[in-house]
Structure 1
Amino acid sequence: MDCTVSVRTLCEFTARQGDLDLRFTPAPTALQGMEGHGLVRSRRGPEYEAEISLQGVYQTLQVRGRADGYDPVAQQLEEIKTYRGELGAIRANHRALHWAQAKIYGHLLCAQRALPRLKIALVYFHIGTHKEDVLVETLDAADLQGFFDTQCARFLDWARSEDAHRRARDQALAALAFPLGTFRAGQRELSVAVYRTARAPAGGSCLLAQAPTGIGKTMGTLFPMLKACPDQGLDKIFFLTAKGTGHGLATQALGQINQQLQATDAAPLRALTLQARDKSCEHRDKACHGDSCPLARGFYDRLPQARAAMLNVKTVWDSARLREIALAHAVCPYYLTQEMARWSDVVIGDYNYFYDGAAMLHALTQAHQWKVGILVDEAHNLVDRARSMYTAELTQPALAAARKHAKTRIRKSLDNLNRAWNALHEGQEAPYQCHAQVPLDFMAALQKALSLIAEANADNPMLPGDPVLGFYLAALQFSVLEEKLDEHALFDVTLTAPQGRKRPTSTLCIRNVIPAPHLQARHAAAHATVLFSGTLGPAAFYRDTLGLPEDTPWIDVPAPFKAQQLAVHIVRDVSTRYHDREASVARIVQLVSAQFRRRPGNYLCFFSSFDYLERVADALCAQDGTLPVWRQVRAMGDDSRQAYIERFREGGQGIGFAVLGGAFGEGIDLPGDRLIGAFIATLGLPQVNPVNESMKRCMQQRFGHRKGYDYTYLFPGLRKVVQAAGRVIRSEQDTGTLFLMDDRFAREEVASLMPAWWR
């Protein structure tokens, strides 16, 4: 096995030691780092050599890198590191990595130039003061070679193991048969389309697949993408979901695939489930560094053993198994999970792990040049989720809290920022208003405050929960997005008049409307991306908003259901428009109670708001107090949501009231007679308000007048309707009834967006 590795990658794998330390310390920007390196080199003599390309070989391992500089007169090799704050604040684990890199470069230089010994220098350059601190060791070439050989041996053992796994994995996947034996109706068509997309010769190929519930979309996408891995050289598959329920389905499908592999004596796939930090943390009262958390102390010293133990686990690496291994080796479960993403074949995680501005999986893909296949489950959710990823808010109350806790120099800069903030919304009479750009005076004051907080934090790192740190992180995100502000986003100001205060406060928002520009590079970074959902039309809406290539194909997989399974009733004598809602209550109660008497069973009733829901539920209970009724309420926790769902028992009778687009409008599975009907008393259209109207104008400017309304109101609303209606028919054996209660459902432009099999 021939293998090539960079010096940095080699050392990151073999030489990290000591504590996990995630205290926030602002690092120099890439530009500042380049300028710092240049300034250090300018201070050296005319014989100084910069950016020296070096390479060496250990058995079948080739190591390559570029040393920062070499002074042949002093016979000193230099590794230059820029920093902010105090030198003592540089973490011990970072220093160990820096020394390891310098020693590897030192060996490569000695071998290349036949040097008997060498001075190895770490040059720490402060970007603020331009001061250099130089740490020097003189080492014999033999000692440097011994260090090099040790690091390479460790890496090569691991690389050989990984190569063997990869070869065995690809051989097993090439022979893998469909785990379920036979394809369901529509499932084969979906799988063929995914396979063709994955086998496209050029990278960045995409597919939009609308496929109904009941055909097995999870297995129908995972299986063909895995089958494409051997021929296409795919390193990893990322299965991305909007909610935790998608994690479970993917884990189940991968478990079935692993059973199939093990039945043929093949090694199972390494499948990893990522979990949010707040759910993985064992010590929530402690900070992520060795002085506070015992699972961070000595993390890198124990990581190799924990990593090796994980590779012996033959089942899917879910959160429970990861936690068990992590605690057995006294390491943090969350950061062990992040480490194992490097060594997994399939990673299951939330959208943000690949699409967010600082996404871990995207960063790893870029750093290691992985060839990846992306599967985006319930992809209709990606539009709103991506908007939130690239939206940033600043609130004046958060600034006030930071000012209260800040030290003198920072407080003065925050006072200046507050004055610029007040000037920004001075004269604004409307509670909400869009502005063409963020004023330059405000941004100058914001950048000044950010710089001072960063310097102070580098000297004395702030802990989570500090209002100054909280405001700093929000302001940093705001500043980053302000630089990218264009016609795809809005800058708006919302005024609030606090009780007891004459002067209003405001919220500033860089509000993303069209996430396409942010997502285009993410699609291009993947070899193939498949976005699939039961509601993924019209195709142009998703191509436009998600930044997909114009030639991205769209398939609409036929549903395995028949029109006779779902009796669809459009109630034309009801209007659920805001001004007509009070008048609609009696008619809706009549329809619900009459249907329940005709066919007793479990039903869901969806409304546009909690207020509307309560009015109808109260009226229904007043008419017939014997009807079993349960209601969704605001801010339901996990236990309350589960209790709500469990009331839909087999053979049960009752009516659940819910808000359209909420927790019960999608992602829940109530097959058979657990749910036999639904009433939808709304088109789901977003509320007409100043924010949505501004978003509509933004859409109109980009896509045209008619599309502005459709993209902002009609398509998102009806998508929620179809998702909610999809709770009724879950299999080819289910039957049920659907009442669409609004005269607008009869309009042609609305009816055309409903599933074809309903008609």
Structure 2
Amino acid sequence: MVQQRLLALLNPYRRLRRGQAVLAEKVCEAFFESRVLAAQWPAGAGKTLAVLLGALEAGAPKIIYLARTHSQFQAPLREARALFNSGVLVPTVALVNKRDFCLLSKDPSIGYSEFLKLCRAKRSAGLCPFSKSPTLPERFSILDENSLREMGLLKRACPFRIAWSLLSRARLIIASYPYFFDPELLKYFVDRSGVNLGETLLVIDEAHNLPRQISEVSRRVLGEQTLVQARRELARIGLKGVAEVSSAARVIDCLLALLRKYSRGQSDVRIESVELGGAETFSREFIALAALYERETGALSSLWRVAEFLSSVERMGPEHLLYVTSREGERQFHLVLVNPARVARKVFESVRSSVLVSATLPPREYLVATLGLDEKQLDIVMYPYLLEGRAQVTVARGVSSRYSGRDENTFRLYGSLIDRIYTRAVAEREAARVLVVFPSYSFLMNVYPHIRSQPKIRERPDTHLEELIEKIRGLRSFLLLVVAWGKFSEGVELRSLGRNLVNTVIVAGLPVPEPSLENATFMKRLRDYLGDEEKAWELTFLYPALFRVVQAIGRGLRSEEDTVQAFILDERVLEKGQSYLESMGFLINVVEAEDLLRDRAGS
């Protein structure tokens, strides 16, 4: 009873939502007992606030909230502001990278490493007008990216340095996954932030993404264009470092030969490190040559990228995959960690307690296998209530987006189905605000010309959440086209003035991960760990697709009052996914795709 009263006092809203007190208590217990809590909580049930209330109830001195993308910072920032407005001060800093914080104009064509080198050079030469040490505020409330940039302009100081200077005084730090799951960034964080991880509660939002995101954070890429440019730079250095230049040229020639040898087909090809012929040991020589080239020319050198890649290859172990691909339109080497538990285990052991939250929590064995969690320390809590019919889901039989069957007829069929559903929604509702989620950007672009309905607004690689909301907020009806593996199909609020902007969701194809060399290698590791090939396949391909479907439908359920009508245009979900969707509380209705086109879905 005392705990209930404390939660009521902390709660910034009129009342707690159903289940929030349960989750808050579990978070509090996990912190007291130094355990890992995994919580499956549906979209719109207030899980972010519940986690923060539980952390405050436990007296956690530091809460680090990790999200996959910057767009997903909005939920913890919103709840921190609500707490502040109700009289509960939780000093908060949102941490983004140095380029996003930078107040100077930036060249979008250069990579992040090149940007950091330019930043250091400008500061060393006294050319950055924001390089002075900032005078920090005595007290602060909520410092997001925009407010930190405004503070930087006001104080003529770097917002990145201001943010890092305030981390030790913040109670809530919001950041993206790499700050903790890139070992080099984590070391930088521990050394520079003044944060004691042993007293920290680590919160991981959309935790079903974490294993794959750890692998993505580890990824190092070296492309043919970079190697060709590096070869030209060696020629410009000429006789100033004859031995080093000759050795480096041989290394680049070796790498180019491997790229051309293994990228003739369409498949990715695994490379054993022995095939590099010792090239990976030359990273120091490339660093010296890059510095020499920049001194001689005053231009940024591509040799740095070669050096960084070779250094990563030199440190790789048996849990890494090195391969050649040409799927991105360029021959490339990729180096990626295929055992994320190697990194994750150390993170979870370093903090006092962790909370993994998701509307689509993976099975226990997946969390243990991919994140290296101690099964005895892992508690799982499920949302205790069903959706009670708030999500009506229609699955279309007779249509599929499987890779092997995609052609122009497939794209035309999807366009016609989307048009028919939209036309019907406009006729039946006062406003048809339709989110259409595609399995990939290329699939979206192939279907796009066949969608005749207007207005249709699509996600682009450089689209920001704010501009997306600005485009649709004044529209009575619209089609908003996004990608399942993109930024806007999960973990974000498509809301304006307290109103959800989505009331219909179309999943235009089951977003099954592609059957790539990486996924095959990941599945093999799971199979070896679990001793069950079918289960390993489901965890690698089926469940990630179902998670994306549920997350997409959840964009229409952002409060307890919301209802959503959803359509899944892919019959494969009926094979093994229907029972999972029904267990989430969705009411499933199966119709023929032809009946949808003839408008007999409800008959």
TM range (shorter): 0.7 to 0.9
- In structure 2, the partner of 1:275 is 96
Moved more, 368-377 or 513-522: 368-377
**Distance change in 2, residues 1:346/1:293 (3 Å):** farther
Shift of 1:374: 0.6
Q: Does 1:415 align with 2:256?
A: no
**Distance change in 2, residues 1:324/1:182 (3 Å):** same
Return the match for 1:688 from 512, 515, 520. Answer: 515
Return the match for 2:17 from 179, 184, 209. Answer: 184
8 Å contact kept, 2:395–2:569: yes
The letter for the 1-side match of 2:73 is H
Return the match for 2:550 from 715, 722, 726. Answer: 722
Q: For residues 78-104 of structure 1, what are the alpha-carbon distances to aligned partners after superposition, in whole Å with 9 as ceiling and x for unaligned?
A: xxxxxxxxxxxxxxxxxxxxxxxxxxx
Q: For residues 682-730 of structure 1, what are the alpha-carbon distances to aligned partners after superposition, in whole Å with 9 as ceiling and x for unaligned?
A: 1211233455444434443444311332222111111111111112222
- In structure 2, the partner of 1:494 is 325
- In structure 1, the partner of 2:119 is 287
CA distance in 2: counterparts of 1:415 and 1:271, whole angstroms: 50
**Distance change in 2, residues 1:533/1:455 (3 Å):** same
Moved more, 237-246 or 288-297: 288-297
TM-score normalised by length of structure 2: 0.80
Identity, % of aligned pairs? 21
Q: Does 1:336 align with 2:162?
A: yes
Q: Does 1:737 align with 2:568?
A: no
SS in 2 for 1:738: strand
CA RMSD of aligned residues (A): 3.4
Return the match for 1:677 from 494, 498, 504. Answer: 504
CA distance in 2: counterparts of 1:497 and 1:537, whole angstroms: 30
- In structure 2, the partner of 1:116 is none
5 Å-filtered alignment, 1:397-412, equals 397-406=225-234, 407=237, 408-409=240-241, 410-412=244-246
8 Å contact kept, 2:494–2:502: no
SS in 2 for 1:567: strand
**Distance change in 2, residues 1:587/1:327 (3 Å):** closer
CA distance in 2: counterparts of 1:651 and 1:404, whole angstroms: 53
Return the match for 1:541 from 361, 366, 371. Answer: 366
- In structure 2, the partner of 1:198 is 31
Shift of 1:199: 0.6
CA distance in 2: counterparts of 1:344 and 1:377, whole angstroms: 19
Q: For residues 235-266 of structure 1, what are the alpha-carbon distances to aligned partners after superposition, in whole Å with 9 as ceiling and x for unaligned?
A: 4211111122332322222233334446xxxx
5 Å-filtered alignment, 1:493-642, equals 493-494=324-325, 506-551=331-376, 552-559=378-385, 561-563=387-389, 565-578=390-403, 579=405, 582=409, 584-585=413-414, 586=416, 589-599=419-429, 601-610=432-441, 612-613=443-444, 618-621=449-452, 627-632=453-458, 634-638=460-464, 642=466
CA distance in 2: counterparts of 1:336 and 1:354, whole angstroms: 20
Return the match for 1:251 from 77, 82, 86. Answer: 77
**Distance change in 2, residues 1:555/1:721 (3 Å):** same
Q: For residues 318-373 of structure 1, what are the alpha-carbon distances to aligned partners after superposition, in whole Å with 9 as ceiling and x for unaligned?
A: 33443344444433221221122133222111111122121233445798565211
**Distance change in 2, residues 1:342/1:175 (3 Å):** farther
Q: For residues 636-681 of structure 1, what are the alpha-carbon distances to aligned partners after superposition, in whole Å with 9 as ceiling and x for unaligned?
A: 433xx64544454478123333333333322232475732212223
The letter for the 2-side match of 1:287 is C
Shift of 1:559: 4.6
CA distance in 2: counterparts of 1:538 and 1:296, whole angstroms: 48
8 Å contact kept, 1:629–1:657: no
The letter for the 2-side match of 1:437 is E
- In structure 2, the partner of 1:477 is 312
The letter for the 2-side match of 1:546 is L
SS in 2 for 1:571: strand
5 Å-filtered alignment, 1:137-156, equals none
SS in 1 for 2:273: coil
Shift of 1:193: 1.0
- In structure 1, the partner of 2:537 is 709
- Bigger relative contact order, structure 1 or 2 (CA pairs below 8 A, ≥6 apart): 2
- In structure 2, the partner of 1:265 is none
Shift of 1:453: 3.5
The letter for the 2-side match of 1:653 is S
Q: Does 1:395 align with 2:235?
A: no
8 Å contact kept, 1:287–1:293: no
Shift of 1:611: 5.5
The letter for the 1-side match of 2:65 is F
CA distance in 2: counterparts of 1:489 and 1:447, whole angstroms: 17
- In structure 2, the partner of 1:214 is 44
SS in 2 for 1:757: coil
**Distance change in 2, residues 1:478/1:181 (3 Å):** farther
CA distance in 1: counterparts of 2:447 and 2:259, whole angstroms: 42
Q: Does 1:653 align with 2:477?
A: yes
CA distance in 1: counterparts of 2:455 and 2:257, whole angstroms: 53
The letter for the 1-side match of 2:488 is F
8 Å contact kept, 2:289–2:303: no
Q: Does 1:663 align with 2:497?
A: no
Shift of 1:174: 11
CA distance in 2: counterparts of 1:497 and 1:619, whole angstroms: 25
Shift of 1:438: 0.7
Shift of 1:634: 4.2
Q: Does 1:746 align with 2:581?
A: no
Q: For residues 490-548 of structure 1, what are the alpha-carbon distances to aligned partners after superposition, in whole Å with 9 as ceiling and x for unaligned?
A: 221235999xxxxxx94222222231111100110000010112122333323322222
**Distance change in 2, residues 1:459/1:660 (3 Å):** closer
Q: For residues 140-160 of structure 1, what are the alpha-carbon distances to aligned partners after superposition, in whole Å with 9 as ceiling and x for unaligned?
A: xxxxxxxxxxxxxxxxxxxxx
**Distance change in 2, residues 1:339/1:754 (3 Å):** farther
